């Protein structure tokens, strides 16, 4: 019988990225070491300003988009993964209060035997088009070109990344090291349809897609798309799920493939309004990307993060868990599980912050609070779920 414990690790991915944190432990953390993004002295040497240079991408979701395109001929899915690459940057820098203007560069790595010029055209144009869309939301994003690298010896299908640069006033920085024992946690839904989205969003985001792909999609794709997985993996863990990409599931408003490819929701318009009103009163903003619901464990210290009022689990995560047989504890460590952004602040602000979010069609609620932890040098987390209380450090 297959052992489904620590599935993410068996697929060659680390949710905690402990080895990365170990590698950078002695690297300079910038002028705000506890901030969500690294912040450095201002590029123009202005004493009251600072700068950020940030990079992220769509991860293995780009490979999934390629598979879906091959199955359906739908080129539009590549627009979605471009949005993933951009939002993983812009929403990260919003966590430190950076609201632009933002310079954006893109990096595309492809195997040009399968990622054609037609696909590249869609991708490059979407970097420009979505920059305009974010600018219309209030964050001026300026596309600055990028690099398309043909790397067939290294890249088996497609990699989509982005890099952002901006400067901001030091007094405007939101430093997550200031999260404290008196804060409540407001969560912002990753699923549903906001009033600035054109279709229902499953909430998947851009994290955990290696587990989501292999644990949800069936073994048919093992032979059909060898370019979409690591050949050194145990075959038992390659596309070992129950579904084909075009399968419909009653709980979803789309096919399995489209649900897994839902573009990462940006929180730009509502966070900009919240920052405009309450910037100086917010202790921290956390983007639940790598590490899922446990992301905040890397910020502040000596805290017990209690999450005891989470959103109802969106259908896509139940489907992934049921198909892959991933433990629920690991699910919360890999995926956002229904909310991908958190604001840490005093409870007195919560009512109006939630009102602002709902004005944009994004559900929000108090999902927990912070307490003092017995060990002042580390953090602890308790997550209350329908499947038990899980603890993380």
Decide: 187 and 344 in contact? Cβ < 8 Å: no
DSSP 262: P
Decide: 160 and 108 in contact? Cβ < 8 Å: yes
C-beta atoms surrounding 287 within 10 Å: 24
Least confident of 30-34, 192-196, 252-256: 252-256
Tell the CATH superfamily of the 7-392 domain.
PurM-like C-terminal domain (3.90.650.10)
Residue 372 to residues 161, 235, 291, 301, 344, Cα–Cα distance (Å): 38, 45, 22, 9, 15
What's the burial of 42, exposed, middle or buried (CB within 10 Å: 0-12/13-18/19+)? middle
Residue range 83-120, pLDDT digits in tens: 999 999 999 999 999 999 999 999 999 999 999 999 99
Which residue reads 């993410």 in tokens? 8
pTM: 0.94
Residue range 333-365, pLDDT digits in tens: 999 999 999 999 999 999 999 999 999 999 999
Residue range 217-239, pLDDT digits in tens: 999 999 999 999 999 999 999 99
Which residues neighbour 252 within 8 Å (Cβ) at sequence distance 6 or greater?
202, 259, 315, 316, 319
End-to-end CA distance of the chain: 30
Average pLDDT over residues 53-77: 97
């Amino acid at each position: 019988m297959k052992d489904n414990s620590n599935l993410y690790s068996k697929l060659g991915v680390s949710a905690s990225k402990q080895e990365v944190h170990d590698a950078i432990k002695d690297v300079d953390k910038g002028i705000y070491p506890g901030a969500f993004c690294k912040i450095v002295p201002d590029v123009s040497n202005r004493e009251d300003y600072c700068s950020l240079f940030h990079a992220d991408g769509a991860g293995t979701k780009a490979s999934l988009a390629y598979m879906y395109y091959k199955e359906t001929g739908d080129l539009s899915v590549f627009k979605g993964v471009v949005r993933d690459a951009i939002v993983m940057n812009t929403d990260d820098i919003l966590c430190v209060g950076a609201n632009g203007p933002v310079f954006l560069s893109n990096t595309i790595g492809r195997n040009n035997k399968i990622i054609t010029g037609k696909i590249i055209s869609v991708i490059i144009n979407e970097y420009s088009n979505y920059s305009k869309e974010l600018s219309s939301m209030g964050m001026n994003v300026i596309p600055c070109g990028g690099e398309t690298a043909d790397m067939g010896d290294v890249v088996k299908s497609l990699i989509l990344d982005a890099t952002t640069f901006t400067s901001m006033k030091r007094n405007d920085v939101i430093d997550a090291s200031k999260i404290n024992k008196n804060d409540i946690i407001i969560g912002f839904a990753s699923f549903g349809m906001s009033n600035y989205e054109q279709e229902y969003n499953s909430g998947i985001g851009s994290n955990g897609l290696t587990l989501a792909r292999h644990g949800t999609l069936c073994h048919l794709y093992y032979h059909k798309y060898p370019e979409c997985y690591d050949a050194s993996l145990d075959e038992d863990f390659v596309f070992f799920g129950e579904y084909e990409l075009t399968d419909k599931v009653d709980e979803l408003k789309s096919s399995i493939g489209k649900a897994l490819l839902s573009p990462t929701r940006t929180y730009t318009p509502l966070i900009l309004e919240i920052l405009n009103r309450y910037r100086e009163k917010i202790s921290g903003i956390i983007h639940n990307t790598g590490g899922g619901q446990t992301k905040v464990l890397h910020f502040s210290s000596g805290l017990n993060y209690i999450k005891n009022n989470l959103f109802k689990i969106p259908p896509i995560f139940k489907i992934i868990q049921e198909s892959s047989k991933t433990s629920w504890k690991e699910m919360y460590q890999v995926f956002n599980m229904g909310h991908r952004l958190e604001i840490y602040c005093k409870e007195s602000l919560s009512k109006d912050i939630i009102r602002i979010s709902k004005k944009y069609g994004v559900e929000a609620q108090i999902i927990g609070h912070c307490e003092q932890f017995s060990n002042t040098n580390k953090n602890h987390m308790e997550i209350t779920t329908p499947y038990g209380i899980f603890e993380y450090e």
